[in-house]
Structure 1
Amino acid sequence: MTTLKNYSRILAMAALVFTAVSCDTNNNADSDLELIPVNSVTVSGYTVSLHAETELETGANQLYWQIEEGSKPAEIESFTITPMMDMGQMMHSTPYEQPVTSDEDEDYLQNMAVFIMPSGEMGSWSVSFEITRMNGETVSGELPIEVSSSWKFTSTRGDDDKVYYISWYAPQKPVSGNNDLVFLIHTRTGMMDFPAVENAELSVYPYMDMGGGSGHSTDYTTPVAMGDGFYQGEINYSMSGVWTTSVQLIAENDTLPEVMFEYSVQAK
Protein backbone atom coordinates (compact mmCIF):
# COMPACT_ATOMS: atom_id res chain seq x y z
CA MET A 1 0.00 0.00 0.00
CA THR A 2 1.25 3.52 -0.75
CA THR A 3 1.50 6.48 1.58
CA LEU A 4 0.31 9.99 0.74
CA LYS A 5 3.50 11.53 2.11
CA ASN A 6 5.71 9.41 -0.12
CA TYR A 7 3.58 10.15 -3.12
CA SER A 8 3.60 13.88 -2.45
CA ARG A 9 7.39 13.88 -2.52
CA ILE A 10 7.50 11.86 -5.71
CA LEU A 11 4.83 13.31 -7.92
CA ALA A 12 3.71 16.67 -6.51
CA MET A 13 0.11 15.68 -6.04
CA ALA A 14 -1.27 19.16 -6.42
CA ALA A 15 -0.20 19.21 -10.05
CA LEU A 16 -1.75 15.85 -10.83
CA VAL A 17 -5.06 15.60 -9.03
CA PHE A 18 -8.01 17.38 -10.62
CA THR A 19 -11.18 18.49 -8.86
CA ALA A 20 -14.75 18.08 -9.97
CA VAL A 21 -16.99 21.16 -9.99
CA SER A 22 -20.43 20.43 -8.60
CA CYS A 23 -23.37 22.43 -7.35
CA ASP A 24 -23.45 19.94 -4.46
CA THR A 25 -19.99 20.60 -3.02
CA ASN A 26 -18.92 20.65 0.62
CA ASN A 27 -19.76 23.79 2.54
CA ASN A 28 -16.45 24.52 4.29
CA ALA A 29 -15.75 28.12 3.27
CA ASP A 30 -12.10 27.86 4.33
CA SER A 31 -11.41 24.80 2.17
CA ASP A 32 -9.87 24.86 -1.31
CA LEU A 33 -11.33 21.42 -1.96
CA GLU A 34 -14.39 21.01 -4.13
CA LEU A 35 -15.88 17.65 -3.21
CA ILE A 36 -19.09 15.76 -3.76
CA PRO A 37 -20.76 13.63 -1.06
CA VAL A 38 -20.52 9.87 -1.57
CA ASN A 39 -22.38 8.48 1.44
CA SER A 40 -22.67 8.79 5.21
CA VAL A 41 -23.77 6.62 8.10
CA THR A 42 -24.37 7.23 11.81
CA VAL A 43 -23.22 4.63 14.36
CA SER A 44 -23.32 5.02 18.16
CA GLY A 45 -23.57 8.79 17.88
CA TYR A 46 -20.78 9.18 15.31
CA THR A 47 -21.58 10.30 11.76
CA VAL A 48 -19.01 9.10 9.24
CA SER A 49 -19.18 10.96 5.91
CA LEU A 50 -17.26 10.09 2.77
CA HIS A 51 -16.54 12.70 0.07
CA ALA A 52 -14.56 12.50 -3.15
CA GLU A 53 -13.47 14.69 -6.06
CA THR A 54 -15.70 12.77 -8.48
CA GLU A 55 -17.97 9.77 -8.36
CA LEU A 56 -15.99 6.70 -7.32
CA GLU A 57 -14.66 4.64 -10.21
CA THR A 58 -12.31 1.78 -10.96
CA GLY A 59 -8.70 2.82 -10.61
CA ALA A 60 -7.19 5.28 -8.15
CA ASN A 61 -9.52 7.47 -6.06
CA GLN A 62 -8.75 10.06 -3.40
CA LEU A 63 -11.19 9.65 -0.49
CA TYR A 64 -11.97 12.36 2.07
CA TRP A 65 -13.51 11.47 5.43
CA GLN A 66 -15.24 13.48 8.14
CA ILE A 67 -16.18 12.03 11.53
CA GLU A 68 -18.64 14.06 13.58
CA GLU A 69 -20.21 13.58 16.98
CA GLY A 70 -23.47 15.48 17.04
CA SER A 71 -22.81 18.50 14.83
CA LYS A 72 -19.15 18.92 15.78
CA PRO A 73 -15.92 17.23 14.64
CA ALA A 74 -15.39 14.17 16.80
CA GLU A 75 -12.39 13.93 19.08
CA ILE A 76 -11.11 10.43 18.43
CA GLU A 77 -7.87 8.52 18.81
CA SER A 78 -7.90 6.83 15.39
CA PHE A 79 -10.00 5.95 12.35
CA THR A 80 -9.20 2.93 10.19
CA ILE A 81 -10.93 1.46 7.13
CA THR A 82 -11.12 -1.73 5.05
CA PRO A 83 -12.77 -1.58 1.60
CA MET A 84 -14.52 -4.86 0.75
CA MET A 85 -16.20 -6.31 -2.34
CA ASP A 86 -18.93 -8.84 -1.54
CA MET A 87 -19.36 -11.23 -4.47
CA GLY A 88 -21.70 -13.61 -2.65
CA GLN A 89 -19.56 -16.76 -2.80
CA MET A 90 -16.42 -14.81 -1.85
CA MET A 91 -15.17 -11.45 -0.60
CA HIS A 92 -12.01 -9.51 -1.32
CA SER A 93 -10.43 -6.16 -0.63
CA THR A 94 -8.47 -3.86 -2.98
CA PRO A 95 -5.27 -1.76 -2.89
CA TYR A 96 -5.72 1.04 -0.36
CA GLU A 97 -4.06 3.06 2.37
CA GLN A 98 -5.28 4.19 5.76
CA PRO A 99 -6.66 7.73 6.19
CA VAL A 100 -4.39 10.46 7.51
CA THR A 101 -5.02 14.16 8.02
CA SER A 102 -5.32 15.79 4.61
CA ASP A 103 -2.52 18.15 3.57
CA GLU A 104 -5.13 20.08 1.57
CA ASP A 105 -7.64 20.58 4.38
CA GLU A 106 -7.05 19.43 7.95
CA ASP A 107 -10.80 19.09 8.52
CA TYR A 108 -10.63 15.88 6.47
CA LEU A 109 -8.90 12.56 6.75
CA GLN A 110 -7.65 11.49 3.33
CA ASN A 111 -6.55 8.25 1.71
CA MET A 112 -6.23 6.59 -1.66
CA ALA A 113 -8.09 3.47 -2.74
CA VAL A 114 -7.68 1.66 -6.06
CA PHE A 115 -10.94 -0.11 -6.84
CA ILE A 116 -10.25 -3.15 -9.01
CA MET A 117 -13.80 -3.78 -10.21
CA PRO A 118 -17.07 -1.87 -10.50
CA SER A 119 -20.21 -2.38 -8.50
CA GLY A 120 -22.96 -4.28 -10.26
CA GLU A 121 -24.09 -7.82 -10.99
CA MET A 122 -20.73 -9.24 -9.91
CA GLY A 123 -20.92 -7.77 -6.42
CA SER A 124 -21.19 -4.73 -4.17
CA TRP A 125 -18.63 -2.52 -2.43
CA SER A 126 -18.65 -1.25 1.13
CA VAL A 127 -16.07 0.26 3.46
CA SER A 128 -15.82 -1.23 6.95
CA PHE A 129 -14.47 1.25 9.51
CA GLU A 130 -13.42 1.36 13.14
CA ILE A 131 -13.37 4.44 15.32
CA THR A 132 -11.21 4.33 18.44
CA ARG A 133 -12.45 6.73 21.11
CA MET A 134 -10.10 8.69 23.33
CA ASN A 135 -10.83 6.23 26.16
CA GLY A 136 -9.77 3.31 23.98
CA GLU A 137 -13.26 1.96 23.26
CA THR A 138 -14.04 1.15 19.64
CA VAL A 139 -17.06 1.75 17.41
CA SER A 140 -17.40 -0.24 14.19
CA GLY A 141 -19.58 0.35 11.16
CA GLU A 142 -19.97 -0.14 7.44
CA LEU A 143 -20.52 2.37 4.64
CA PRO A 144 -21.97 1.10 1.32
CA ILE A 145 -20.50 2.74 -1.81
CA GLU A 146 -21.02 2.58 -5.57
CA VAL A 147 -18.06 2.23 -7.94
CA SER A 148 -18.49 2.80 -11.67
CA SER A 149 -16.36 1.46 -14.51
CA SER A 150 -13.61 3.72 -15.87
CA TRP A 151 -11.20 3.79 -18.80
CA LYS A 152 -8.42 4.56 -16.30
CA PHE A 153 -8.09 0.99 -15.03
CA THR A 154 -7.20 -2.38 -16.52
CA SER A 155 -5.40 -5.60 -15.60
CA THR A 156 -3.20 -8.22 -17.18
CA ARG A 157 -2.21 -11.76 -16.21
CA GLY A 158 1.14 -13.50 -16.52
CA ASP A 159 2.02 -17.06 -17.57
CA ASP A 160 2.08 -18.00 -13.88
CA ASP A 161 -1.54 -16.75 -13.57
CA LYS A 162 -0.41 -13.82 -11.44
CA VAL A 163 -2.59 -10.77 -12.03
CA TYR A 164 -1.31 -7.19 -12.28
CA TYR A 165 -3.59 -4.16 -11.87
CA ILE A 166 -2.64 -1.06 -13.87
CA SER A 167 -4.18 2.31 -13.00
CA TRP A 168 -3.81 5.36 -15.24
CA TYR A 169 -3.02 7.99 -12.60
CA ALA A 170 -2.13 11.02 -14.68
CA PRO A 171 -3.10 12.96 -16.63
CA GLN A 172 -6.60 12.69 -15.21
CA LYS A 173 -7.78 15.14 -17.88
CA PRO A 174 -5.40 14.81 -20.84
CA VAL A 175 -4.87 18.06 -22.74
CA SER A 176 -2.84 18.92 -25.83
CA GLY A 177 0.77 19.80 -25.04
CA ASN A 178 2.88 18.57 -22.16
CA ASN A 179 1.43 16.22 -19.52
CA ASP A 180 2.91 14.08 -16.77
CA LEU A 181 2.27 10.42 -17.61
CA VAL A 182 1.86 8.34 -14.46
CA PHE A 183 0.78 4.74 -13.90
CA LEU A 184 0.16 2.97 -10.59
CA ILE A 185 0.67 -0.80 -10.52
CA HIS A 186 -0.35 -3.43 -7.97
CA THR A 187 -0.52 -7.18 -7.85
CA ARG A 188 -2.40 -9.62 -5.63
CA THR A 189 -1.02 -12.13 -3.15
CA GLY A 190 -4.31 -12.90 -1.40
CA MET A 191 -7.89 -11.75 -1.09
CA MET A 192 -6.78 -9.04 1.35
CA ASP A 193 -3.27 -8.34 0.09
CA PHE A 194 -2.51 -6.13 -2.92
CA PRO A 195 1.12 -4.98 -2.78
CA ALA A 196 2.53 -2.28 -5.02
CA VAL A 197 4.78 -3.49 -7.85
CA GLU A 198 8.11 -1.77 -7.28
CA ASN A 199 10.63 -2.80 -9.93
CA ALA A 200 8.81 -3.52 -13.17
CA GLU A 201 9.65 -2.16 -16.60
CA LEU A 202 7.05 -0.47 -18.78
CA SER A 203 6.86 -0.19 -22.53
CA VAL A 204 4.27 2.34 -23.72
CA TYR A 205 3.16 3.61 -27.11
CA PRO A 206 0.70 6.48 -27.60
CA TYR A 207 -1.11 6.53 -30.95
CA MET A 208 -3.77 8.56 -32.74
CA ASP A 209 -5.68 6.78 -35.51
CA MET A 210 -6.42 9.27 -38.28
CA GLY A 211 -8.55 6.81 -40.27
CA GLY A 212 -7.91 5.29 -43.66
CA GLY A 213 -5.01 3.28 -42.32
CA SER A 214 -3.00 6.34 -41.26
CA GLY A 215 -2.06 7.61 -37.82
CA HIS A 216 0.80 8.88 -35.71
CA SER A 217 2.41 8.84 -32.29
CA THR A 218 3.76 11.83 -30.34
CA ASP A 219 6.72 12.78 -28.18
CA TYR A 220 6.89 10.94 -24.84
CA THR A 221 9.28 9.49 -22.28
CA THR A 222 8.79 5.96 -20.98
CA PRO A 223 7.55 5.89 -17.37
CA VAL A 224 10.12 4.60 -14.87
CA ALA A 225 9.71 3.34 -11.31
CA MET A 226 9.46 6.09 -8.69
CA GLY A 227 8.58 3.88 -5.70
CA ASP A 228 5.36 2.76 -4.05
CA GLY A 229 4.07 1.35 -7.35
CA PHE A 230 4.22 4.66 -9.24
CA TYR A 231 5.80 4.91 -12.69
CA GLN A 232 6.32 8.39 -14.10
CA GLY A 233 7.15 9.74 -17.53
CA GLU A 234 5.97 12.58 -19.76
CA ILE A 235 3.84 12.90 -22.87
CA ASN A 236 3.35 15.80 -25.28
CA TYR A 237 0.08 15.37 -27.18
CA SER A 238 0.50 16.92 -30.60
CA MET A 239 -3.24 17.41 -31.08
CA SER A 240 -6.61 16.92 -29.43
CA GLY A 241 -8.89 13.98 -30.21
CA VAL A 242 -9.15 10.28 -29.42
CA TRP A 243 -5.87 8.60 -28.48
CA THR A 244 -4.83 5.15 -27.37
CA THR A 245 -1.82 4.23 -25.25
CA SER A 246 -0.65 0.65 -25.13
CA VAL A 247 1.19 -0.57 -22.04
CA GLN A 248 3.29 -3.70 -21.76
CA LEU A 249 4.63 -4.71 -18.39
CA ILE A 250 7.76 -6.74 -17.67
CA ALA A 251 7.72 -8.02 -14.08
CA GLU A 252 9.66 -10.84 -12.44
CA ASN A 253 11.24 -11.70 -15.82
CA ASP A 254 7.77 -12.21 -17.30
CA THR A 255 6.60 -10.13 -20.28
CA LEU A 256 2.88 -9.73 -19.73
CA PRO A 257 0.17 -9.35 -22.39
CA GLU A 258 -0.23 -5.79 -23.66
CA VAL A 259 -3.15 -3.69 -22.43
CA MET A 260 -4.70 -0.60 -24.01
CA PHE A 261 -6.08 2.67 -22.67
CA GLU A 262 -8.40 4.68 -24.95
CA TYR A 263 -9.32 8.26 -24.05
CA SER A 264 -9.95 11.77 -25.35
CA VAL A 265 -7.43 14.60 -25.31
CA GLN A 266 -8.90 18.09 -25.04
CA ALA A 267 -7.49 21.20 -26.69
CA LYS A 268 -5.51 23.29 -24.23
Structure 2
Amino acid sequence: MNLQKSIIGMVHVGALAGTPKNNQSVETIIANAVVESKILQQEGVDAIMIENMHDRPYLNRVVGPEIISVMTAVACELRKVISLPLGIQILAGANKEALAVALAAGFDFVRSEGFVFGHLADEGMMNSDAGELLRYRKQIGAGHIRIFTDIKKKHSSHAVSGDISIQEMAKAAEFFLSDGVIVTGNSTGEKASVEDVKVVKEAIKVPVLIGSGIDEQNIQDYWPFADGFIIGSSFKRNGIWENELDKNRVREFIRKVNSFKK
Protein backbone atom coordinates (compact mmCIF):
# COMPACT_ATOMS: atom_id res chain seq x y z
CA MET A 1 0.00 0.00 0.00
CA ASN A 2 1.54 3.27 -1.14
CA LEU A 3 0.39 6.24 0.93
CA GLN A 4 0.25 9.32 -1.26
CA LYS A 5 -2.48 11.58 0.12
CA SER A 6 -4.64 8.48 0.54
CA ILE A 7 -8.24 8.64 1.71
CA ILE A 8 -9.02 5.64 3.91
CA GLY A 9 -12.76 5.14 4.40
CA MET A 10 -13.93 3.60 7.67
CA VAL A 11 -16.52 0.84 7.92
CA HIS A 12 -17.80 0.48 11.47
CA VAL A 13 -19.10 -3.07 11.47
CA GLY A 14 -22.27 -3.71 13.47
CA ALA A 15 -22.02 -4.62 17.15
CA LEU A 16 -20.65 -8.15 17.31
CA ALA A 17 -21.96 -11.22 19.14
CA GLY A 18 -21.92 -10.94 22.91
CA THR A 19 -21.46 -7.16 23.05
CA PRO A 20 -24.12 -4.97 24.73
CA LYS A 21 -25.42 -3.35 21.52
CA ASN A 22 -25.55 -6.49 19.39
CA ASN A 23 -28.93 -6.95 17.68
CA GLN A 24 -27.93 -8.30 14.27
CA SER A 25 -27.06 -11.72 12.91
CA VAL A 26 -23.59 -12.42 11.59
CA GLU A 27 -25.05 -12.57 8.09
CA THR A 28 -26.55 -9.08 8.43
CA ILE A 29 -23.35 -7.65 9.86
CA ILE A 30 -21.38 -9.01 6.91
CA ALA A 31 -23.94 -7.84 4.35
CA ASN A 32 -24.01 -4.29 5.73
CA ALA A 33 -20.21 -4.09 5.74
CA VAL A 34 -20.14 -5.25 2.12
CA VAL A 35 -22.71 -2.64 1.07
CA GLU A 36 -20.80 0.23 2.73
CA SER A 37 -17.46 -0.94 1.38
CA LYS A 38 -18.79 -1.16 -2.16
CA ILE A 39 -20.13 2.40 -1.90
CA LEU A 40 -16.78 3.67 -0.62
CA GLN A 41 -14.96 1.92 -3.45
CA GLN A 42 -17.38 3.20 -6.10
CA GLU A 43 -17.12 6.76 -4.83
CA GLY A 44 -13.33 6.77 -5.09
CA VAL A 45 -11.63 6.25 -1.73
CA ASP A 46 -8.09 4.88 -1.88
CA ALA A 47 -8.41 2.24 0.85
CA ILE A 48 -10.94 0.89 3.34
CA MET A 49 -10.54 -0.04 7.00
CA ILE A 50 -12.94 -2.02 9.18
CA GLU A 51 -13.32 -1.57 12.92
CA ASN A 52 -15.58 -2.95 15.67
CA MET A 53 -16.46 0.47 17.06
CA HIS A 54 -20.03 -0.53 17.89
CA ASP A 55 -18.71 -3.04 20.45
CA ARG A 56 -18.54 -0.45 23.24
CA PRO A 57 -17.66 -0.63 26.05
CA TYR A 58 -14.44 -2.17 24.82
CA LEU A 59 -12.26 -4.78 26.43
CA ASN A 60 -8.63 -3.96 27.17
CA ARG A 61 -6.28 -5.75 24.76
CA VAL A 62 -7.97 -9.16 24.98
CA VAL A 63 -11.14 -9.93 22.99
CA GLY A 64 -13.02 -13.20 22.76
CA PRO A 65 -13.03 -15.74 19.95
CA GLU A 66 -16.51 -14.60 18.94
CA ILE A 67 -15.09 -11.16 18.06
CA ILE A 68 -12.11 -12.52 16.15
CA SER A 69 -14.20 -15.04 14.22
CA VAL A 70 -16.83 -12.55 13.05
CA MET A 71 -14.23 -9.93 12.14
CA THR A 72 -12.46 -12.63 10.11
CA ALA A 73 -15.72 -13.55 8.38
CA VAL A 74 -16.36 -9.89 7.51
CA ALA A 75 -12.78 -9.39 6.34
CA CYS A 76 -12.75 -12.48 4.11
CA GLU A 77 -16.01 -11.47 2.45
CA LEU A 78 -14.72 -7.96 1.79
CA ARG A 79 -11.52 -9.28 0.27
CA LYS A 80 -13.65 -11.15 -2.28
CA VAL A 81 -15.46 -8.05 -3.52
CA ILE A 82 -13.12 -5.11 -2.84
CA SER A 83 -10.02 -4.51 -4.97
CA LEU A 84 -8.67 -1.63 -2.86
CA PRO A 85 -6.13 -1.99 -0.04
CA LEU A 86 -7.90 -3.12 3.13
CA GLY A 87 -7.08 -2.61 6.80
CA ILE A 88 -8.45 -3.53 10.19
CA GLN A 89 -8.48 -2.37 13.79
CA ILE A 90 -9.90 -4.41 16.66
CA LEU A 91 -10.79 -2.40 19.74
CA ALA A 92 -9.42 -1.92 22.19
CA GLY A 93 -5.78 -2.50 21.52
CA ALA A 94 -6.27 -6.08 20.27
CA ASN A 95 -3.40 -5.59 17.87
CA LYS A 96 -2.17 -9.17 17.61
CA GLU A 97 -5.70 -10.33 16.91
CA ALA A 98 -6.09 -7.69 14.20
CA LEU A 99 -2.81 -8.78 12.63
CA ALA A 100 -3.93 -12.42 12.63
CA VAL A 101 -7.25 -11.51 10.96
CA ALA A 102 -5.41 -9.39 8.40
CA LEU A 103 -3.15 -12.29 7.52
CA ALA A 104 -6.04 -14.75 7.22
CA ALA A 105 -8.10 -12.42 5.02
CA GLY A 106 -5.34 -11.03 2.82
CA PHE A 107 -5.55 -7.50 4.23
CA ASP A 108 -2.83 -4.92 3.77
CA PHE A 109 -2.55 -3.02 7.06
CA VAL A 110 -3.68 -2.75 10.66
CA ARG A 111 -4.22 0.20 12.96
CA SER A 112 -2.51 -0.29 16.31
CA GLU A 113 -3.01 1.59 19.57
CA GLY A 114 -0.62 1.46 22.51
CA PHE A 115 2.42 0.79 20.31
CA VAL A 116 4.84 3.00 22.24
CA PHE A 117 4.49 4.61 25.68
CA GLY A 118 1.81 3.25 27.95
CA HIS A 119 -1.29 5.38 28.48
CA LEU A 120 -4.46 5.38 30.52
CA ALA A 121 -7.27 4.60 28.10
CA ASP A 122 -10.97 4.63 28.93
CA GLU A 123 -10.66 0.83 29.07
CA GLY A 124 -7.91 1.09 31.70
CA MET A 125 -4.14 1.13 31.67
CA MET A 126 -2.69 0.01 28.34
CA ASN A 127 1.00 -0.84 28.22
CA SER A 128 3.03 -0.50 25.03
CA ASP A 129 3.33 -3.58 22.84
CA ALA A 130 5.70 -2.71 19.97
CA GLY A 131 8.28 -5.36 20.82
CA GLU A 132 5.74 -8.13 21.29
CA LEU A 133 3.64 -7.13 18.28
CA LEU A 134 6.49 -6.96 15.78
CA ARG A 135 7.88 -10.27 17.00
CA TYR A 136 4.43 -11.78 16.54
CA ARG A 137 4.24 -10.36 13.01
CA LYS A 138 7.58 -12.01 12.25
CA GLN A 139 6.54 -15.34 13.76
CA ILE A 140 3.35 -15.66 11.71
CA GLY A 141 4.91 -14.53 8.45
CA ALA A 142 2.96 -11.29 8.21
CA GLY A 143 5.86 -8.95 7.49
CA HIS A 144 4.08 -7.62 4.40
CA ILE A 145 1.21 -6.25 6.52
CA ARG A 146 1.87 -2.66 7.53
CA ILE A 147 1.28 -1.49 11.09
CA PHE A 148 0.11 2.11 11.44
CA THR A 149 0.33 3.28 15.03
CA ASP A 150 -1.52 5.89 17.04
CA ILE A 151 0.52 8.34 19.10
CA LYS A 152 -1.02 10.26 22.01
CA LYS A 153 -4.18 8.40 21.12
CA LYS A 154 -7.70 9.83 21.43
CA HIS A 155 -9.94 8.75 24.32
CA SER A 156 -6.90 8.52 26.57
CA SER A 157 -5.01 10.34 29.31
CA HIS A 158 -1.34 10.96 28.65
CA ALA A 159 -0.37 12.53 31.96
CA VAL A 160 2.16 9.78 32.64
CA SER A 161 3.98 10.76 29.43
CA GLY A 162 3.17 14.46 29.69
CA ASP A 163 6.86 15.39 29.58
CA ILE A 164 7.23 13.72 26.19
CA SER A 165 6.26 15.84 23.20
CA ILE A 166 4.23 14.42 20.36
CA GLN A 167 7.20 14.72 18.03
CA GLU A 168 9.39 12.74 20.45
CA MET A 169 6.66 10.11 20.68
CA ALA A 170 6.56 9.96 16.89
CA LYS A 171 10.33 9.51 16.78
CA ALA A 172 10.04 6.66 19.29
CA ALA A 173 7.38 4.95 17.15
CA GLU A 174 9.60 5.30 14.09
CA PHE A 175 12.61 3.96 16.02
CA PHE A 176 10.50 0.97 17.10
CA LEU A 177 9.75 0.29 13.40
CA SER A 178 6.24 1.65 13.01
CA ASP A 179 5.19 1.74 9.35
CA GLY A 180 3.39 5.05 9.89
CA VAL A 181 2.03 7.13 12.76
CA ILE A 182 -1.51 8.35 13.30
CA VAL A 183 -2.33 11.72 14.87
CA THR A 184 -5.83 12.31 16.28
CA GLY A 185 -7.92 14.77 18.22
CA ASN A 186 -9.07 14.05 21.75
CA SER A 187 -12.02 11.86 20.75
CA THR A 188 -13.80 10.33 17.75
CA GLY A 189 -14.81 13.04 15.29
CA GLU A 190 -12.62 15.70 16.91
CA LYS A 191 -9.98 17.20 14.66
CA ALA A 192 -6.28 16.96 15.33
CA SER A 193 -4.11 20.00 15.88
CA VAL A 194 -2.64 21.19 12.58
CA GLU A 195 0.50 22.17 14.45
CA ASP A 196 0.81 18.66 15.91
CA VAL A 197 0.55 17.14 12.45
CA LYS A 198 3.11 19.58 11.09
CA VAL A 199 5.74 18.98 13.78
CA VAL A 200 5.29 15.21 13.56
CA LYS A 201 5.75 15.32 9.78
CA GLU A 202 8.94 17.33 10.23
CA ALA A 203 10.26 14.93 12.88
CA ILE A 204 10.01 11.57 11.11
CA LYS A 205 10.41 9.94 7.71
CA VAL A 206 7.63 7.32 7.91
CA PRO A 207 4.14 8.32 6.73
CA VAL A 208 1.90 10.49 8.89
CA LEU A 209 -1.85 9.84 8.91
CA ILE A 210 -4.69 11.75 10.54
CA GLY A 211 -7.12 9.53 12.40
CA SER A 212 -10.04 11.75 13.41
CA GLY A 213 -11.96 14.91 12.69
CA ILE A 214 -11.19 15.41 8.99
CA ASP A 215 -14.10 16.74 6.95
CA GLU A 216 -14.75 18.52 3.67
CA GLN A 217 -14.31 21.94 5.28
CA ASN A 218 -10.98 21.42 7.04
CA ILE A 219 -9.02 18.92 4.96
CA GLN A 220 -7.25 21.72 3.08
CA ASP A 221 -5.62 22.79 6.37
CA TYR A 222 -3.97 19.38 6.75
CA TRP A 223 -3.35 18.50 3.11
CA PRO A 224 0.28 19.78 2.95
CA PHE A 225 1.37 17.86 6.06
CA ALA A 226 -0.30 14.42 6.04
CA ASP A 227 0.17 11.37 3.84
CA GLY A 228 -3.13 9.68 4.66
CA PHE A 229 -6.55 10.56 6.05
CA ILE A 230 -8.77 8.08 7.89
CA ILE A 231 -12.35 9.24 7.40
CA GLY A 232 -15.21 7.87 9.48
CA SER A 233 -17.68 10.32 10.98
CA SER A 234 -17.57 12.75 8.08
CA PHE A 235 -18.85 10.06 5.69
CA LYS A 236 -21.87 9.28 7.85
CA ARG A 237 -25.32 10.89 7.83
CA ASN A 238 -25.12 14.25 9.64
CA GLY A 239 -21.44 13.58 10.36
CA ILE A 240 -22.21 11.21 13.26
CA TRP A 241 -20.20 7.99 13.36
CA GLU A 242 -23.10 5.81 14.56
CA ASN A 243 -25.24 6.68 11.53
CA GLU A 244 -25.32 4.92 8.18
CA LEU A 245 -22.95 5.82 5.38
CA ASP A 246 -24.06 8.84 3.33
CA LYS A 247 -23.11 8.35 -0.33
CA ASN A 248 -23.51 12.05 -1.12
CA ARG A 249 -21.17 13.09 1.68
CA VAL A 250 -18.56 10.64 0.41
CA ARG A 251 -18.98 11.88 -3.16
CA GLU A 252 -18.60 15.56 -2.26
CA PHE A 253 -15.58 14.85 -0.07
CA ILE A 254 -13.82 12.89 -2.81
CA ARG A 255 -14.67 15.58 -5.35
CA LYS A 256 -12.91 18.15 -3.18
CA VAL A 257 -9.90 15.90 -2.64
CA ASN A 258 -9.61 15.29 -6.38
CA SER A 259 -9.49 19.04 -6.93
CA PHE A 260 -6.42 19.17 -4.66
CA LYS A 261 -4.77 16.32 -6.53
CA LYS A 262 -5.24 18.10 -9.86
Does the alignment reach a TM-score above 0.5?
A: no
> Structure 2 length as normaliser, TM-score?
0.25
Considering fraction of residues, name the structure with more strand: 1
> Structure 1 length as normaliser, TM-score?
0.24
